[in-house]
Amino acid sequence: MILNSPVNDDNEEDIIDRMEDENIDVAGTVSSNLFVEEFLSSLAEKRRAVIEYQVLQGYTETETAIKLRISQQAVNRLKSRALQKNETGFREQGLL
């Protein structure tokens, strides 16, 4: 998406202007997205998969366990440890 492109052909308002008008915190959203990407890249493969399935895609622990072929208890443990790893960062970003 190009933020300085017109919303439509008949309108000279840019997308970025509309976003600002709707009180969307573009900088905050970008900052949060960068934080989440950095957090995910810092995790081991299984922990990252658990967070992606449960937090980002909304799978249950049971569904995540089936997808990853591990126990539900393992999913719970991996998620808890992944989130504990950076709890302070999540709080600072307003994600917890």
From first to last of the 96 residues of the chain, give the pLDDT tens digit: 444 444 455 555 555 555 555 556 666 566 667 777 888 888 899 999 999 999 889 999 999 999 999 999 999 999 998 888 777 776 776 666
Instruction: Say if residue 40 is exposed, middle or buried (CB neighbours under 10 Å; 0-12, 13-18, 19+).
Output: middle
Residue 28 tokens read as: 């905050």
CB 50 within 8 A of CB 61: no
Q: What is the pLDDT of residue 7?
A: 44
- Residue 86 confidence (pLDDT): 75
List the domains of the chain with CATH numbers: 15-92 (1.10.10.10)
pLDDT at 1: 43
pTM metric for this prediction: 0.60
Q: How many CB atoms lie within 10 A of CB 78?
A: 22
